[in-house]
Amino acid sequence: MKRHGLKQRLREAVREDSFDVHYQPIVELDTGQVTACEALVRWLDGPRGCVNPGSFIPIAEETGAIVAVGRWVLDQACAQARLWQTAHSRPQPLTMAVNVSARQLVQDSFRQIVSGVIKETGIQPGWLCLEVTESVLIEDPESSIRVLTELKELGIKIAIDDFGTGYSSLEYLRRLPVDCVKVDRSFVRGVPDNEEDVAIVNAVIELGHALKLSVTAEGVETVEQLGNLQGAGCDTAQGFLFYRPEPPEVVEKLFADSRAANDPAPVTAEPFERPADPIGAGPVDHGRAHAPAAPQRRLIPPPGVPGSRRRLARHSLVAGIRAMAHTWVKGEAAPDSSAG
């Protein structure tokens, strides 16, 4: 009954445009610069307040409402990126990342929709990055390759979101026309204490770089996670350690600070209590950053470390990923294990 009521209110929200877009800055770990923002939809359900995206996004997908909502978010995000880029001088353009649903991706007109939004808002295609979850891509890999190739022809960027959760074929990953992989927060959460997660995060970063892709870590919340990601060579990151998703007027203050834009500090942060509300109320104030002690890179634990069969299986998977990535980059045939 509760789900039925949510469906009904969601249909009304689509008709009444009861949505907002919040933006979460993405930080370049080498320089501390905010180089991108991810657009995240928020539903303000009248007196009930803000509805958790995890509650209404699946229903929007199921009912098809996500097509209209996704189109609206794309339009709002591109217009906002254009506004920020015009209003504030930046050393490099700000990339706007927008999530794309399975329903949107299978639309025959989706390429035309994206092209139209680019023209209407005036955003440079290279400033736009469409994020597609790995699980969506593997439902029909050949179709995904075709659709993403058509989108890439517009000059935009493509990122694989929640990477590592969809169990995609590495062969398809090599063929997908993508620019970035995003390490899922479920793996980042376990760093640095969980050896399996440390191994997976490091392997994904190495694989991404071997395939000449940038790597973004999601859900970074602690200084220890940040230190491990920096040590592993991760390119960018987002999470409550840096900034929470905020309305555009709040993010605007970040860009209005000329010192932050032109003289960024190395990225570190003071520890803070993990907020109970995932939506947040403002950027995390971590003060002037200080360079951390050089973190020790934590690689895959050596053979023989006690652990479950699941852990050993993941270690084998990581080793296989590295070997395959090396083969692809070198353009060499895989060695014949039967050769004596």
Domains of the chain with bracketed CATH: 14-271+291-330 (3.20.20.450)
What are the DSSP calls for 242-286, one per residue? T---B-HHHHHHHHH-HHHHHSPPP------PPPS-SS-SS----
* Whether the Cβ atoms of residue 39 and residue 5 lie closer than 8 Å to each other: no
State the virtual CA torsion across 258, 261, 267, 269 in degrees, nearest 10.
Answer: 40
pLDDT of residue 330: 57
Half-sphere exposure of 114 (CA within 13 A, CB side): 27
What are 51's two structure tokens?
């509805």
Cα–Cα distance measured from residue 134 to residue 176, given in angstroms and rounded to the nearest whole number: 11
Cα radius of gyration (the chain) = 21
Which residue has tokens 């770089």? 209
pLDDT of residue 309: 35
Q: How far is C-alpha 170 from the chain's CA centre?
A: 19
pLDDT of residue 10: 93
* Whether the Cβ atoms of residue 9 and residue 63 lie closer than 8 Å to each other: no
pLDDT tens for the 340 residues of the chain, in order:
478 888 999 999 999 989 999 999 999 999 999 999 999 999 988 878 899 899 999 999 999 999 999 999 999 999 999 999 888 777 788 999 999 999 999 999 999 999 999 999 999 999 999 999 988 888 888 899 999 999 999 999 999 998 877 666 677 778 899 999 999 999 999 999 999 999 999 999 999 999 999 999 999 999 999 999 999 999 999 999 999 999 999 999 888 774 444 554 444 443 333 333 333 333 443 333 333 443 433 333 333 444 443 354 355 445 545 555 555 555 544 444 444 4
State the virtual CA torsion across 212, 218, 221, 226 in degrees, nearest 10.
Answer: 0
Cα–Cα distance measured from residue 273 to residue 140, given in angstroms and rounded to the nearest whole number: 42
pLDDT of residue 172: 75
What are 223's two structure tokens?
């200084």
Cα–Cα distance measured from residue 199 to residue 17, given in angstroms and rounded to the nearest whole number: 44
* Whether the Cβ atoms of residue 124 and residue 117 lie closer than 8 Å to each other: no
pLDDT of residue 138: 80
